[in-house]
Structures are given as structure tokens and as C-alpha cells.
Chains A and B, each alone.
Chain A
Amino acid sequence: SQQGEEDPQALSIQEGENATMNCSYKTSINNLQWYRQNSGRGLVHLILIRSNEREKHSGRLRVTLDTSKKSSSLLITASRAADTASYFCATGYNTDKLIFGTGTRLQVFP
């Protein structure tokens, strides 16, 4: 079963704009990870944030984590057409397997 939900389910923006995706989850976690998936391809790891961290940056990506609200957000700044993909959050806990959300489909128009 899925751990939680991403919001929105779909997002369309113009190149240069920022894209924000939210993820909510249900249970305790050790870490939360964001992955990108291009159509019909495998998942590419973007960023991992541990449960004791509140914010993390990687290039144009900014991830926040609020464990009290069981939520996380992914911000992509200055988006590019190449950012068009589905984005998934995934949570890890003691069992080590990842539990994925339902994903946000991002479309960036040139």
C-alpha cells in the first residue's frame, strides 16, 4: 500500500518558474527521499532528508521536512523543460524498504 499522498497530482508551469510539490505520510520515519521518474523509465534519486533534519538543498532543489505534520515539500527553482517528469516521495523506517507516495506529474513548458 502507498504511504501517503503527493499534492498536487499534476502541475504545469512555464520554464523559469518555481515548482512546489508536497508529500504527506502516515507513520514514523527515519528518512524521506525524493525521486524523479521520466516516462517509462527507472527512478533517479534526488535527495534524502533524515528525520532530524528540517531542510536540505541540492543545486536547484530544496526539500523541507516537518515531522510534526508528517509532511515534506520539494521545491524546484528556475524550472527547465528537462525537469518534466513524475516526482515521488518515499519514506524509510526500520524495515528499510521504501514506501512511495502516489507521485506528482510535472510538466514544464518551454
Chain B
Amino acid sequence: DTGVSQNPRHKITKRGQNVTFRCDPISEHNRLYWYRQTLGQGPEFLTYFQNEAQLEKSRLLSDRFSAERPKGSFSTLEIQRTEQGDSAMYLCASEQSTGNTEAFFGQGTRLTVV
């Protein structure tokens, strides 16, 4: 257990539905990252927050995706109008900012869109 918690662990949804995932980082960490991982590939960066500010978004993050970290603590990732191509593992990570430090990952949320 790294201390980063993600819920739910698994989500099956029908195409077109909206889904929301939650990440609770390690409490003293001010940086929070979202990654997406498809089968057989390494994780790909989606977005990250420093405290409540969203500092960078990947081109992978289409307008159907939105992420928030309202009080600089937990974060949510919402996918609207899900598509089959959204099926993946969504990973959250946190770290104490300064760079050159390790990131701690949660267990991920596996999304299956049917």
C-alpha cells in the first residue's frame, strides 16, 4: 500500500454514460497526477495539479475529460459520453513537489466501456 487510494477499483459502464473516478493522495503531497494505461503499454500522462491548480493537460485529454482538485486534497477525473476507446486503467500518483522525487501510485481504476 503506497498511501494513494483510488476508487472505484473497477468500473464497467455502457457507452455514452458518464463516469467519475476519485483519487486520495498522500496527505502532505501537493502534486497529483493522472495517467492512463492501456493493455501492454506504459502509462501515459493525462494531467497534473499542484495544490488545486491544474498546471498541465495532455493532448490525450479530450474535451470529454475533466479533472478537478477543488481543495488541493483529493481529485476527481470525469469522463463524459464514454467511448469504447476509453477502456483502460486510470492511475493516480502523488508526490511532494521539488522535482527529482519519486511519485507514489495508487492501485488504479480499471474502466471497461461496453
Chain A contact residues, CB within 8 Å of chain B? 1-2, 30-31, 33, 35, 40-45, 48, 50, 88, 90, 92, 94-103
Residue B104 at the chain A interface, CB threshold 8 Å? yes
Complex Cα distance, B100 from A31, in Å, reads 6
In chain B, what residue has the closest Cβ to A45? Answer: B102
Contacts of A94 in B (CB 8 A): 99
The one of A92, A95, A98 that contacts B56, using a Cβ cutoff of 8 Å? A95
Complex Cα distance, B49 from A35, in Å, reads 22
Complex Cα distance, B38 from A2, in Å, reads 12
Give min CB distance, B11 to chain A, whole Å: 14
Q: Is the CB of B107 within 8 A of A41?
A: yes
Q: Is the CB of B108 within 8 A of A41?
A: yes
Give min CB distance, B32 to chain A, whole Å: 12
For this complex, 28 residue pairs linking A to B, each with C-beta atoms less than 8 Å apart, are: A2-B44, A30-B99, A31-B99, A33-B102, A35-B105, A40-B110, A42-B6, A42-B105, A42-B108, A43-B43, A45-B2, A45-B104, A45-B105, A48-B102, A50-B100, A88-B43, A96-B31, A96-B97, A96-B99, A97-B33, A97-B45, A97-B48, A98-B103, A99-B45, A100-B43, A101-B42, A103-B40, A103-B41
The interface size bin for chain B is: 20 to 34
Q: Is the CB of B42 within 8 A of A96?
A: no
Complex Cα distance, B35 from A30, in Å, reads 20
Known: A30-B100, A95-B56, A96-B97. 6 other contacts (CB 8 A): A2-B41, A42-B4, A98-B45, A100-B42, A101-B42, A102-B42
Residue B91 at the chain A interface, CB threshold 8 Å? yes
Residue B25 at the chain A interface, CB threshold 8 Å? no
The one of B56, B106, B110 that contacts A97, using a Cβ cutoff of 8 Å? B56
In chain B, what residue has the closest Cβ to A5? Answer: B42
